[in-house]
């Protein structure tokens, strides 16, 4: 750690070693000559999140899998759309209180802007990221169907006004955009759903988005093979990071800072 005048930020997760948030945020700090430093912290128990945040004396943090919902529960104040989502990915400290935000939701909407008009979405998975995406889409007036392996966790989406399906109950339909928010393909070559069924879903779709970044997952490979326009999670990660950066620094990052942050993400 640097001296006390340097603002300190962490990302909490388990696992966290794969995170590219430090190189993205540090590139932003450097671009604007901000005296700040951001690093990874492998948190092994969710109950220690708030305690660790306060003990470390840091100014802010990002929270990644699997702690976004625990982070929501442990925060002192929830700000904005995070209240509806029930999951947060950004902590800011004000006067020994933790203020919590969700930048995943607006980050996702910014990431899919270049797809053009979307009316119907099939969202695979039902975790904290899926909640953020579903809330953002519903607030934009877009129809959302959520497909999860089991019934667990689907109640939230029903109450949000989404159609919900398990693998057993899913009936094929037509969707503009298919989103994978599961971890299938992150560390393996798995699909979020049986390949044959995915092919049928892609047949009538126009776009596919995978929240995983840094590799072409089997999900995206299959979508590309079906002639669909695809995106991985890099833009979502970038834009949620840009929004977190603004919360961390109080500064609006301009084009050159955003580009520096994108280049930071691309470093190996």
Q: Tokens at residue 111, please?
A: 């990431």
Q: Clarify whether residues 31 and 140 are in a common domain.
A: no
Q: Are the beta carbons of 220 and 190 closer than 8 angstroms?
A: no
Q: Clarify whether residues 224 and 260 are in a common domain.
A: no
**Residue 1: inside a domain:** no
**Residue 218: inside a domain:** yes
Q: Clarify whether residues 66 and 143 are in a common domain.
A: no
**Residue 2: inside a domain:** no
Q: Clarify whether residues 182 and 78 are in a common domain.
A: no
- How confident is the model over 64-93, as pLDDT tens digits? 988 999 999 999 999 999 999 999 999 999
The residues annotated with a catalytic role in the active site are: 68
Q: Clarify whether residues 134 and 209 are in a common domain.
A: yes
- How confident is the model over 180-215, as pLDDT tens digits? 999 999 889 999 999 999 999 999 999 999 999 888
Closest alpha carbon to 41 in 24, 59, 63, 68: 63
Report the CATH number at residue 148: 3.40.50.720
| 23 Cβ contact list (under 8 Å, min separation 6) | 264, 265, 267
**Residue 139: inside a domain:** yes
Name the residue range of residue 19's domain: 7-102+235-266
Q: How many domains does the chain have?
A: 2
| CB crowding 166-203: b at 16 or more within 10 Å, else e | eeeebeeeebbbbbbbbbbbbeeeebbbeeeebeebbe
The rounded distance, in Å, linking the Cα atoms of 115 and 258 is 20
**Residue 198: inside a domain:** yes
Model confidence, pTM: 0.92
Q: Clarify whether residues 58 and 138 are in a common domain.
A: no
């Amino acid at each position: 750690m640097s001296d006390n005048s340097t603002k300190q930020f962490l990302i909490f997760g388990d696992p966290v070693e794969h995170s590219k948030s430090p190189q993205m945020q540090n590139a932003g700090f450097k671009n604007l000559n901000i005296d700040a430093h951001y690093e990874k912290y492998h948190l092994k128990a969710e109950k220690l999140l708030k305690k660790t945040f306060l003990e470390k004396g840091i100014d802010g943090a990002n929270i990644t899998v699997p702690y976004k919902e625990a982070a929501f529960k442990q925060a002192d104040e929830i700000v904005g759309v995070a209240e509806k989502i029930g999951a947060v990915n950004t902590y800011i400290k004000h006067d020994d209180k933790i203020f919590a935000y969700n930048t995943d939701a607006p980050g996702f909407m910014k990431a899919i802007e270049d797809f053009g008009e979307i009316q119907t979405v099939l969202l695979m998975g039902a975790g904290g990221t899926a909640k953020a995406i579903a809330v953002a889409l519903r607030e934009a007036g877009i129809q959302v169907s959520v497909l999860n392996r089991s019934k667990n966790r689907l109640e939230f989406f029903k109450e949000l006004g989404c159609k919900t399906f398990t693998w057993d109950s899913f009936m094929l339909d037509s969707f503009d955009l298919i989103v994978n928010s599961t971890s299938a393909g992150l560390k393996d070559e798995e699909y979020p759903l049986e390949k044959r069924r995915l092919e049928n879903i892609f047949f009538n779709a126009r776009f596919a988005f995978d929240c995983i970044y840094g590799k072409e997952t089997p999900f995206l490979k299959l979508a590309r093979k079906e002639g669909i326009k695809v995106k991985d999670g890099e833009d979502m990660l970038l834009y949620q990071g840009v929004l977190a950066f603004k919360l961390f620094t109080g500064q609006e990052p301009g084009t050159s800072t955003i580009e520096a942050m994108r280049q930071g993400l691309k470093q190996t």
